[in-house]
Amino acid sequence: MKEERKDITPPYARYLVYLIRPFPDFDPSFIKPVRQKAVGLLNLKQGDRVLDMGCGPGGSFPYLFDAVGPSGEVVGVEISPEVAMNARRRIARNVWRNVQVIEADARTIQLTGTFDGALMFAAADVYGSQEALDNIFPHLRENAQVAAFGYKYSNNALGTILNPLLRMAHRLFSFPTTPLPEYEPWRILAKRVEKLNVEEYFLGLMFLASGSVASREAPRKN
């Protein structure tokens, strides 16, 4: 039996993971519309194969499953053993036979085949890591849609007041591999996608970025 590496999950985050474990389908109501929009931006169709990097407890699974249908496939990747367990409980509760979770680091996971879209929802360890993107993007088909949602420092007059709280939350709940907040945390991702569109939410403290995988023949310049 594989031993859980509990040092991966921050202590406060670990407490929350255990707190919601009896409720596999739990997801904060205020975040659901953003999840739906992020999945919609992937332009998935029935039978597609989609990657959910940093899938967490599987909050995006219902929308991804609906998008690809029973003939498609949803592959979630989660670095934390405890969080991955919650995601698997959600899968079992909903009897999704074409949804799976791989417990792995995005920087080193060995993916197989190609994907028609990639979601990085609250996954700064992924969209903010050059190494992770180098590992993932070769498995995305050309013109596949990519969507990333996360937190950022705000330039908004009211939002800047909350920047110190964001820094504190990052320190308490983020993983060791999670990069520090930035004003434009999508900058690394922007080098790999075409026509990146960015929308800001919650006083500029959160963002949703989306675009299509750049042409293999004409890679983006740094």
Is 35 among the domain residues? yes
Q: Could you list the pLDDT tens digit for every one of the 222 residues in the chain? A: 344 445 677 766 777 888 888 899 989 898 999 999 999 999 999 999 999 999 999 999 999 999 999 999 999 999 999 999 999 999 999 999 999 999 999 999 999 999 999 999 999 999 999 999 999 999 999 999 999 999 999 999 889 999 999 998 888 878 778 888 999 999 999 999 998 999 999 999 999 999 999 876 444 444
Give the whole-angstrom CA distance, residue 125 versus residue 76: 14
Is 208 among the domain residues? yes
Describe the strand order of the beta sheet including 193-201 as a list of residue ranges.
99-103, 73-78, 49-53, 115-121, 140-151, 206-213, 193-201
Is 220 among the domain residues? no
Is 2 among the domain residues? no
Q: What is the domain extent for residue 182?
A: 11-213
* pLDDT recorded at residue 20: 86
Take residue 41 and report the two structure tokens written for it: 């931006």
State how far the alpha carbon of 173 is from the alpha carbons of 22, 103, 178, 197, in Å: 21, 19, 10, 28
* pLDDT recorded at residue 7: 62
* pLDDT recorded at residue 216: 61
Alpha helices in the chain (DSSP H): 11-20, 32-40, 61-68, 81-94, 124-127, 130-136, 159-173, 187-190
How far from the centroid of its chain's Cα atoms is residue 163's Cα? 22
Is 5 among the domain residues? no
| CATH number, domain containing residue 70 | 3.40.50.150
Is 104 among the domain residues? yes
* pLDDT recorded at residue 222: 44
* pLDDT recorded at residue 4: 43
Is 219 among the domain residues? no
Q: Are 144 and 116 in contact (CB under 8 A)?
A: yes
pTM: 0.89
Identify any residues that bridge with 193 across adjacent strands, giving them in sequence order.
213
> Collapsing DSSP states into helix, strand and coil, what is residue 73?
strand
* pLDDT recorded at residue 75: 98
**Number of separate domains in the chain:** 1
Calculate the CA dihedral of residues 177, 120, 89, 32 and round it to 10 degrees: 120
Is 218 among the domain residues? no
Give the whole-angstrom CA distance, residue 82 versus residue 98: 21
DSSP 75-99: EEEES-HHHHHHHHHHHHHHT-TTE
State how far the alpha carbon of 218 is from the alpha carbons of 73, 192, 196, 221, in Å: 29, 10, 16, 9
